[in-house]
Amino acid sequence: MMDKKQVAAVLDQMGTLLELQNANPFRIRAFQNASQIIEGITEDLDDLVDRQTLTDIDGIGQGLAKIITDLVKTGSSREYEDLRKSLPAGLLDIIRIPGLGPKRVRLLYEKLKIDSVEALKRACETHQLAELTGFGEKTEQNILRGIERLRKTSEKHLVPRAAESAEKMLKAISRLKAVKRCEVAGSLRRRKEVIGDIDIVASVEEKHRASIVKVFVSQPEVSSVVAQGETKATVVLTNGINCDLRLVRDNEYPFALNYFTGSKEHNVEMRSLARRKGWSLNEYSFSLLKGAKKQSRIPVCRNEEDIYKALGLSYVPPELRENMGEFDASRKGAVPKLLEEKNLRGTFHVHSTYSDGANSLEELTKAAQKLGWDYWGVADHSQIAVYAQGLSPEKVNEQRREIENLNARLKNFRVFHGTECDILSDGTLDYSNDVLAGFEYVVASIHSKFNMNESEGTKRLIKAVRNKYVTMIGHPTGRVLLSRDGYPCDMVQVIDAMADYGKAIELNAHPSRLDPDWRLLKYAKEKGVKVFINPDAHNADGLRDVRYGVGVARKAWLEARDVGNAWPTREVEKFFAAIRA
DNA sequence: GCCGTTTTCGGCCCGACTGTTTTCAGTCG
């Protein structure tokens, strides 16, 4: 009745409702934690329920297992219904307003009967809040601004846009003489697929703090200042993204950087590990735990590596800090050597002037050479894509001849001839097998009929995966395969099929459309499915967009050998040939 | 609510900022 996404949402909501009820904070955390766990599992939730193995998962006990089982089986649960009935639904909207937490939401409801954002807005405008103890005029103003901000920033920001702003702000800070070290932290450093806000950490002598904060808040990118203190400032940038600056002493810097990089889940585990050594860990330092039975001497930590070392761990790259197995790997010294941008030797999903691309084969080749690559692959649209000048079989032959001529002239560089072939609604492909056999590789993509139900959608894709000439499944429209709210299909099943048939998957890194789910990518890696980081480029500049995919690939623990475009030319040729063999 | 090669009971992460206080609670990250 409910899938894992829905179950996760319900558990999170139960946590919030418990907060509003002023319940035991650890009980609250148990629900929030469980929500995270369920969202992250790659096994089939139905299976776990049927086999009654939910309690094998760390963090899920008898109580939560019962609730989850009820939700999956019946679509509801006694505990959930009781909680939901105990408070008006509108409070769940109100609590999302920045500056309002469970205590004050509860108070507003009890004293002023405020049970919706609209009612709250009216109450602020008529200054009813200021009459309550603990509230004043300033708070009313802040809430009104919060309501407005929530409306504007409810959507999260994509990595490339946030990265661009972050670079500008970082540059403004780092060029100041008083700043010793500074770096972007937070989810941007962890390369999450979407970014909430930008965190910058800087080390600076105390006497210079005020001047640094002043420079920060007066940057041209800043549209308003939310908070400005001695060690912290928060601003809203002109593009609507929040940006935080934290100032610390230089000896505190590694701790601050680590702390503000997160994730929260990673930090919680770090602190637990510190406690076991008899230390307390915060954003400034280790300190000896008062009254601990066993205490170890605290080593000097000059950088993040030292902190991990102190806890008996090898360095954990920011992309892996999600408490999703990185501590185990780190203890065993088995942290993978993650993909680097410089590992990439080329890319394969590129459109030329033959279909809807803006640059010729020659121009694209020059751009790829300029990036230091060894190859690239053309993948123009197939014939049904009339809107994009999809290629007829005759045109395909013409293109092949041009590529052969080009390759004959090129030294130490190779252009591959592929296609982005449409998967039709019945799962068959837009070219006959005869035509497909003429390509070196085939990216099979969906551009039509996005409103199928999940089982039909899954069948359609798996049928395409089975086609002997398909090399990799692409995701052309952005809201597709590896994204959580994309094309209706059970991606786990599709990945299983790819593993069975030795096919690859495309991580489409087109920046304007990026929202790939790294958990699914990680699952693909575990299954041995190769990944190609492709830009879906329509011009020469677009080739560079692969760099946005590298961060997501790192989050999924991908190493150079897991990624097709990190292989040398010969290996790529072999892989393509093996698929049709 | 969860968890246990120190525990089946008693723990479970911590500091800064804000606005309203006259010493601090609530919120945030």
- Per-residue pLDDT of A140-179, as tens digits, reads 988 998 888 777 666 677 777 788 889 999 999 999 999 9
Q: Is A434 helix (H, G, I), strand (E, B) or coil?
A: helix
CATH 1.10.150.110 positions along chain A are 4-152
pLDDT of the residue at A159: 76
CATH 3.30.460.10 positions along chain A are 157-248
Only one residue has tokens 């946005």, namely A548
Q: CA–C1' span, A109 to B19, in Å?
A: 20
Tell whether the model's pLDDT for residue A481 goes beyond 60: no
Tell whether the model's pLDDT for residue A270 goes beyond 90: yes
Domain A4-152 in CATH 1.10.150.110: yes
pLDDT of the residue at A329: 92
Candidates A537, A494, A488; CA nearest to A513 is: A537
* Model confidence band, residue A13 (pLDDT cutoffs 50, 70, 90): very high
Mean pLDDT of A301-313: 94
Domain A341-580 in CATH 3.20.20.140: yes
Pairing of strands A222-228, A232-237: antiparallel
Tell whether the model's pLDDT for residue A479 goes beyond 80: no
Q: CA–C1' span, A256 to B6, in Å?
A: 32
Cα(A10)–Cα(A76) distance, rounded to whole angstroms?
A: 9
With b for 16 or more beta-carbon neighbours within 10 A and e for fewer, the A160-193 pattern comes to bbbbebbeebbebbeeeebbebbbbbbbbbbbbb
Q: CA–C1' span, A99 to B17, in Å?
A: 12
* Model confidence band, residue A521 (pLDDT cutoffs 50, 70, 90): confident
pLDDT of the residue at A60: 92
Cα(A533)–Cα(A516) distance, rounded to whole angstroms?
A: 11
Q: CA–C1' span, A174 to B2, in Å?
A: 44
The CATH superfamily label for domain A262-331 reads: DNA polymerase, thumb domain (3.30.210.10)
Nearest nucleotide to A141 (CA to C1') is B19
Nearest nucleotide to A65 (CA to C1') is B1
Cα(A187)–Cα(A170) distance, rounded to whole angstroms?
A: 15
Domain A157-248 in CATH 3.40.50.9100: no
Q: pLDDT digits over A60-81, tens only?
A: 999 999 999 999 999 999 999 9
For every residue of A172-203, DSSP letters joined together read HHHTSTTEEEEEEEHHHHTT-SEES-EEEEEE
Q: CA–C1' span, A4 to B9, in Å?
A: 33
Which residues partner with A201 through β-bridges?
A183, A246
Task: Give the bases of strand B that a protein CB approaches within 7 Å.
Answer: 1-4, 6, 11-21, 25-29
Nearest nucleotide to A60 (CA to C1') is B2
Q: pLDDT digits over A411-432, tens only?
A: 999 999 999 999 998 899 999 9
CATH 3.20.20.140 positions along chain A are 341-580
